[in-house]
Amino acid sequence: MNENYLDVNGWRTRYARAGEQGPALILLHGLGASLDSWSLNLEALGKMFRVFAPDVLYFGKSAKPKHAPSHADFTAFVAAFMDTLNIPRATLVGNSMGGAIATQMTITAPERVERLILADPAGFGRELVWWLRLRTLIDLRPRGKLPPRARRFALRQLFYNPDRVPPALIEAMEALNAEPGLFESYHRVLRVGVDLRGLRDTMLREVRDQAHRIHAPTLLLWGKQDRVVPLRQLAVAQREIPHAQTHVFDECGHAPQIEHAAEFNALVREFILTTTAESA
């Protein structure tokens, strides 16, 4: 991917982009991930759209503030990222934590969002995988390159079939572990939204309980075998956003944009081309 850096409200931000024409798409990755999680989507979607994928503040190779963030800090970051690149409105595509950020942005700044696409988003239920909850108390995040068996276990937590994940992407994910301050930053953000019971009440109030305010065309995508954010939360999202279109990927874990990249890209293209953007 084409790696770039820019200043977003004083914070050094890494981002990648593809495409020179068409509607703008902003791809928002999940907790502890980076823009590399969109490596199978950026160029494909860039053939028809202007696509931007940042390392969200606190993650990847972007700046890692020393203070604990508020939820509003992430929507403010997305708005400032759009302003810096002169993007008045965009379709937001979010996976996991990125889905929660995209949902909050659509609720609090609907004039900036033309469409909303959520892939296994956080925010619609308390239940989360056990190891994510445990990490709020104990640092379980792996450092450096994992032994083969440990790597396989970690990948099976995220993906239904790790063999579908390109080795180059796995290497990029592991390489991020060497980023200075990454683990401290990860835990600052994790503890804002998660505790030992699961997703905090504040996150549920700001995402699930406000999602009925969303009027933008919405597409809900989910991996049927997601271990991190279980499929049953899709029913809650459908109830709160009844006009949303939905699609469930079989034999798929927490990141359908990786495990079923071609189908994911086709669904995103079709949704954008067949829906009318929300009026500003």
C-alpha span between 32 and 187 (Å, rounded): 9
Residue 180: what pLDDT?
Answer: 85
Return the amino acid letter for 187.
H
Alpha helices in the chain (DSSP H): 42-46, 71-84, 97-108, 130-134, 148-158, 167-175, 182-193, 201-206, 233-240, 256-259, 261-274
Whole-Å CA distances, 210 to 33, 182, 234: 26, 31, 16
CA angle 29, 252, 14 (to 5 degrees): 15
Domain spans, the chain: 3-274
pLDDT of residue 257: 98
- For 103, other C-beta atoms within 10 Å of its C-beta total 30
193: which 2 tokens? 């939204």
> Which H or E run includes 18?
strand 11-18
pLDDT at 177: 79
3-274 — its CATH code?
3.40.50.1820
pTM exceeds 0.85: yes
pLDDT for 126: 97
Q: What is the pLDDT along the chain (280 residues), one digit of tens a residue?
A: 788 999 999 999 999 999 999 999 999 999 999 999 999 999 999 999 999 999 999 999 999 999 989 989 999 999 999 999 999 999 999 999 999 999 999 999 999 999 999 999 999 999 999 999 999 988 755 555 666 777 788 899 999 999 999 999 988 888 887 788 888 999 999 999 999 999 999 999 999 999 999 999 999 999 999 999 999 999 999 999 999 999 999 999 999 999 999 999 999 999 999 999 887 6
